Amino acid sequence: MTSLYQDENANGQGVAPSPTGLWRRWVIACGAGEFLGIAAAAAIAIGHRYLLGEPVTAEDKLLNLFFMCLAGVIEGSILASFQWKILKEVFWQVSRKQWLIYTVAAAVLGWILGMAPSLFFNDSAANSNGMEDMPAIAFFSLAALMGLFLGGLFGYFQWLLLKPHNRRSIIWIPANALGWAAGMCFIFLSASLPDASTHWALIVLYGALGGITAGLTVGAVTGGALLRLARGR
């Protein structure tokens, strides 16, 4: 059973990092990963809209979904890379390639499930005005529910890699679900701030700010779970 406090760590060294330091660096890693990942996703979305306009036909919507899947690949890759640098101190049996593939798969699936309903089941007018007219409690409740579901996806995919090395790693799923439930509220809030007249650079900035606050929130919650797994036998 892996533990942060085993005699030797991934590099065969006898000194293990402190729990406080591990949690802090994990939070920073998640914040930085989502800061860059969401900013990149926002830039891709803006570039698609500027070049091709609002998707109207089925072909346009499929192309839009493809670009958002690409955003998911980029976001997942960045987040996974930052996370793995800290994760390897506890679960050194998990390779960077494995963590990258499973995290990217969760991110892409999350983007598909998050974007498809608004693309294919709502007309553009209803989609553009519905969020603005929604009461705050309904707005943030929707964000939290989506975060709970998508966070569960992240947790499940990553747990598949952790479970062979720690019997208690099942806590990784609810930790991600709760972390993303809170973090998604910041992403929704940042996405609701721009309007049709907002400059593209400001839209990317809003996305980046939403990403870093969401990432720090997710990191704070999942970092607690990582500490429990590191201490557990």
Contact 85, 36 (CB under 8 A): no
- Predicted TM-score of the model (pTM): 0.82
Domain-embedded: residue 23: yes
User: How sure is the predictor about 78, in pLDDT bands with cuts at 50, 70 and 90?
Assistant: very high
Span 151-189, pLDDT tens digits:
999 999 999 999 999 999 999 999 999 999 999 999 889
In a domain, 12, yes or no: no
Is 168 within a domain? yes
- Sequence-ordered alpha helix ranges (H) in 163-199: 172-192
Percentage above 70 pLDDT, the chain = 84
Number of domains in the chain: 1
How far, in Å, CA of 106 to CA of 73, rounded? Answer: 9
Residue 73 located in a structural domain = yes
pLDDT band for 36, please (50, 70, 90 cuts).
very high
Mean pLDDT of the region 203-222 = 92
- In a domain, residue 71? The reply is yes
Question: Which of 223, 208, 212 has the alpha carbon at shortest distance from 31?
Answer: 212
The reply to whether 38 falls in a domain is: yes
Domain-embedded: residue 13: no
- How would you classify residue 57: left for phi > 0, otherwise alpha for psi between -120 and 50, otherwise beta? beta
Asked if 74 and 37 count as a contact pair (C-beta separation under 8 A), the reply is yes
Note the pLDDT tens digit of each residue in 39-74: 888 888 788 777 777 777 778 788 888 888 898 999
User: What residue numbers bound the domain in which 85 lies?
Assistant: 19-122+131-231
The rounded distance, in Å, linking the Cα atoms of 194 and 75 is 21
The pair of structure tokens assigned to 200 is 């593209």
In three-state secondary structure terms, 199 is coil
Does some domain include residue 57?
yes
